[in-house]
Chain A
Amino acid sequence: MISLVTCKDFLAELGNYLDETVSPEVRRHLEEHLNECPNCWVVCDTTKKTIQIYRGYDPYPIPNDVHMRLMEAVQRKAASKP
């Protein structure tokens, strides 16, 4: 990668950047771009927050009745297994 990172380049590498799978050199170029480009900074920051909020607020906790029915189904299965 050349040192002049465009917004398009940045976006193309955003996934790898967030997953920390870029080389130190690429990382440095991307971070230089982040320091200069408020738009990319915002996109990067809010994408990180998107992942964090999904991890922090499990939108689908398992309801207790679903858990109970699963346990019953497993017990029935175990009882029927030869």
Chain B
Amino acid sequence: MIQRVGQTNGFDEAAVVTQAQNGNVDAFTELVNRYEGSIFRLARHITQNPQDAEDVLQETFLKAYEHLEDFQGNSKFYTWLVRIAVNQSLMKLRKRKSDASVSLDDPYDTGEENVTREIAVWEPNPEQTYSREEIRDILTKAVEGLPPTFRAVFALRDIEELSTEETAAILNLSVPAVKSRLLRARLRLREKLTRYFKRKGDDFFGYM
């Protein structure tokens, strides 16, 4: 079980943030060490590009350092960082795809997408069929195929385990919009992973 960041092992985030705000560089470094993995992972999920993810990672912490005094403590510091990282990630996407608009408010919100085609039980243990590297590759490719808004919602809710409300606030979406995007993201990923992880010889198809 993944522990929620910001409230683990007696780590007093507020106290460390106050120290950092008072100019203690070691305190800020502690925050970097604590959250860099999450921020990098999130940026990788949204940008789908290692160089962009590294740029977002640096920009996020440098901006945070620069604007530390602006952090009021109304939200968790981690949520504040995530908000910066999401904005920087979306800017990278917009830069890369200057012809295609990257919006979190995508038009193909028809609700007709909750269609499941691949209905098959999975192998109990995918490690018996695939190496760890192969599994990572399958997971990466599946996420790559999602629209940016789905990737962002999935990464925030299911990977970083933020609440629906936190995710909605960070992405400037309504709670129902987060929920519908999350469900469609999960179902699309499920569909793709089923092609790899389904039990062999178990190919019955659903009709839903």
Q: Which residues of A contact B (CB under 8 A)?
A: 7-8, 11-12, 14-16, 18-19, 39-40, 42-43, 45-47, 49-51, 53-55, 57-62, 66-67, 69-71, 73-75, 77-78, 81
Task: Assess the B139–A57 pair: CB atoms within 8 A.
Answer: yes
Query: Is the CB–CB distance between B32 and A43 below 8 Å?
Result: no
- Interface of A (DSSP majority class): helix
Contacts A/B (CB < 8 Å), 6 sampled = A39-B116, A39-B208, A46-B197, A57-B136, A70-B32, A73-B62
- A53, B54: Cβ atoms closer than 8 Å: no
Q: Are B45 and A8 in contact (CB under 8 A)?
A: no
Q: Which of A12, A40, A45, A77 has the most CB of B within 10 A?
A: A77
The answer to whether B208 and A11 touch across the interface, beta carbons within 8 angstroms, is yes
In the complex, A22 Cα to B159 Cα: how many Å?
A: 21
With A15-B183, A46-B193, A57-B136 given, is the CB distance from A66 to B29 under 8 Å? Answer: no
Interface membership of B119, Cβ < 8 A: yes
**B186:A51 contact, CB within 8 angstroms:** yes
Docked Cα-Cα span, A62 to B41, in Å, equals 7
B15 contacts A by Cβ under 8 Å:
no
**Of B86-94, B96-104, B120-128, which stretch is located at the interface?**
B120-128
* 8 A Cβ contacts from B131-186 to A: 132, 135-136, 139-140, 143, 158-159, 164, 179-180, 182-183, 186
Supposing A55-B159, A57-B139, A59-B140 touch, asked if A74 and B65 sit within 8 A by C-beta, the answer is: yes
Interface pair B114/A70, CB less than 8 Å apart: no
On whether the beta carbons of A59 and B136 are closer than 8 Å, the reply is yes
Given A15-B179, A49-B122, verify A77-B187 contact (CB < 8 Å): no
Q: Is the CB of B121 within 8 A of A42?
A: yes
A66 cross-chain contacts in B, Cβ below 8 A: 40, 54, 57
B contacts, CB < 8 Å to A: 2, 25, 28-29, 32, 36-37, 40-41, 44-45, 53-54, 57-58, 61-62, 65-66, 114, 116, 119-122, 126, 132, 135-136, 139-140, 143, 158-159, 164, 179-180, 182-183, 186-187, 189-190, 193-194, 197, 206-208
Chain B residues in 8 Å Cβ range of A19: 164
A71 CA to B28 CA, complexed, in Å: 11
> Known contacts A39-B119, A46-B194: does B183 contact A14 (CB below 8 Å)?
yes
Q: Given A7-B208, A46-B190, A78-B25, A54 and B121 touching (CB < 8 A)?
A: no
Q: B116 to chain A: which residues have CB within 8 Å?
A: 11, 39, 43
Residues of B within 8 A of A46 (CB): 120-122, 190, 193-194, 197
- B122 near A74: Cβ-Cβ < 8 Å: no
B121 touches A62 (CB 8 A): no
Judge whether B53 and A60 touch: CB under 8 Å. yes
Contact partners of A70 in chain B: CB under 8 A? 32, 36, 54, 57-58, 61
